[in-house]
């Protein structure tokens, strides 16, 4: 179906958690803006939302101050285990009746609010230690495998076959991550458990959501997980519907306590709510629902198909940046939403 050109927009997050030291905040801001410029340039050149979110997230994975890719937190055994996922909703040119019955693992849906047909596809990786950019591997799973989620050594073997260079796991460990891990090890088991329960503290999961001029809608998320996580633990960032979701209505990426985000299928709930609402109130409502259900800390960013952006969180702070034609490129340290009871 031929579509009018859409208004491109991009929103990214650098995690919800403690605000962190001032010097790190300045550098995190700079890094976030550099990553956003990459994504925004792709959208301005009529590139796809998928390219934009992957480029933005990959740039953040490369920066040691974010908890994703190089810079990931270490698990209880002192190793990096990373999760990432990506999802893309593309408008479909052919009327549904003329489309092939099967498109492999892709699935189609119609957005009845605007009559458009979309084809959605997704890829994800869990508990990988040997790839520099897990988001690039998640995209390769989406585009070059019959699967959606691959984990551990199997995902790394697939990476090699897909032409993605493997690194030694130690190459993904920064001195900062090692020091934090050592500091935690020196604490008692009880304190450690408490810290893990407040896992959003110092969180630096990264994510992005975008819409392109062709009407494509994408989201991507990447993380090293939560502090003190057990060996083998997988969080929301690997799970489509929890940490990442895209659909004809819009796209979302989450950050915060993965277990709560999984329990509430936060991103899918938020994106489907865009059918009847705009991103700002939908983001706020999604966080309130998550609090009601779990009492945990999390954040979400959203973009709808019209290029409108929303975000919300209930941690101490959350770093976001946004791009659209009206407002250009902006960076924000978001305050938590007011959590007073709803009317
Ligand atoms: N939200 C990131 C994680 O829980 O792993």
> Burial, 152: exposed, middle or buried (Cβ in 10 Å; 0-12, 13-18, 19+)?
middle
Q: What is the three-class DSSP state of 79?
A: coil
> Is 221 among the residues known to form the active site?
no
Q: Which atom of ligand 1 is nearest to the CA of 256?
A: 1
Helices (H), the chain: 22-44, 49-61, 134-144, 152-161, 175-185, 189-197, 258-263, 266-273, 279-294
Whether 340 maps to a domain, the answer reads no
Mutate to test the pocket of ligand 1, among 237, 264, 296 (most ligand atoms within 8 A of CB): 237
Domain that holds residue 167: 4-334
Whether 343 maps to a domain, the answer reads no
pLDDT in tens, the chain (343 residues): 445 578 999 999 999 988 788 889 999 999 999 999 999 999 999 999 999 999 999 999 999 999 999 999 999 999 999 999 999 999 987 555 555 444 446 676 666 556 568 999 999 999 999 999 999 999 999 999 999 999 999 999 999 999 999 999 999 989 899 888 888 777 655 565 555 545 444 569 999 999 999 999 999 999 999 988 999 999 999 999 999 999 999 999 999 999 999 999 999 999 999 999 999 999 999 999 999 999 999 999 999 999 999 999 999 999 999 999 999 999 999 999 988 755 4
Ligand 1, atom 4: closest residue by C-alpha: 258
Whether 307 maps to a domain, the answer reads yes
236 lines ligand 1 (CB under 6 A): yes
Whether 82 maps to a domain, the answer reads yes
Name the domain count of the chain.
1
255 lines ligand 1 (CB under 6 A): yes
Residue 108 sits in a domain of what CATH number? Answer: 3.60.20.30
Kindly report whether the global pTM for this prediction surpasses the value 0.85: yes
312 lines ligand 1 (CB under 6 A): no
Ligand 1, atom 5: closest residue by C-alpha: 225
258 lines ligand 1 (CB under 6 A): yes
């Amino acid at each position: 179906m031929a579509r009018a050109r859409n208004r491109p927009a991009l929103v990214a997050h650098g995690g919800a958690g403690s605000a962190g030291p001032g010097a790190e905040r300045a550098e995190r801001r700079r890094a976030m803006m550099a990553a956003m410029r990459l994504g925004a340039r792709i959208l301005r050149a009529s590139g796809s939302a998928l390219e934009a979110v992957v480029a933005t997230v990959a740039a953040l994975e490369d920066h040691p101050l974010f908890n994703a890719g190089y810079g990931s937190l270490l698990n209880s055994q002192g190793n990096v285990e990373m999760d990432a996922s990506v999802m893309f909703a593309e408008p479909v040119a052919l009327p549904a009746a003329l489309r092939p019955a099967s498109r492999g693992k892709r699935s189609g849906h119609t957005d009845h609010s605007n009559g458009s047909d979309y084809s959605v596809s997704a890829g994800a990786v869990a508990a990988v230690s040997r790839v520099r950019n897990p988001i690039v591997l998640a995209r390769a799973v989406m585009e070059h495998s019959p699967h959606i989620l691959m984990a551990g050594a199997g995902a790394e073997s697939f990476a090699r076959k897909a032409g993605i260079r493997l690194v030694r796991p130690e190459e993904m460990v920064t001195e900062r991550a090692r020091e934090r891990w050592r500091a935690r090890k020196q604490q008692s088991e009880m304190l450690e458990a408490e810290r893990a329960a407040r896992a959003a503290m110092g969180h630096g999961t990264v994510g992005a959501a975008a819409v392109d001029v062709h009407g494509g809608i994408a989201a991507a998320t990447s993380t090293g997980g939560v502090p003190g996580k057990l060996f083998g633990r997988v969080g929301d960032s690997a799970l489509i519907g929890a940490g990442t979701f895209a659909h004809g209505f819009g796209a979302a990426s989450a950050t915060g306590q993965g277990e709560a985000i999984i329990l509430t299928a936060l991103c899918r709930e938020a994106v489907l709510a865009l059918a009847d609402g705009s991103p700002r109130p939908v983001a706020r409502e999604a966080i309130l629902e998550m609090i009601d259900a779990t009492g945990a800390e999390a954040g979400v960013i959203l973009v709808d198909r019209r290029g409108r952006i929303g975000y919300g969180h209930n941690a101490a702070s959350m770093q976001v940046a946004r791009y659209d034609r009206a407002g250009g490129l902006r960076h924000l340290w978001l305050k938590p939403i007011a959590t007073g009871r709803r009317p």
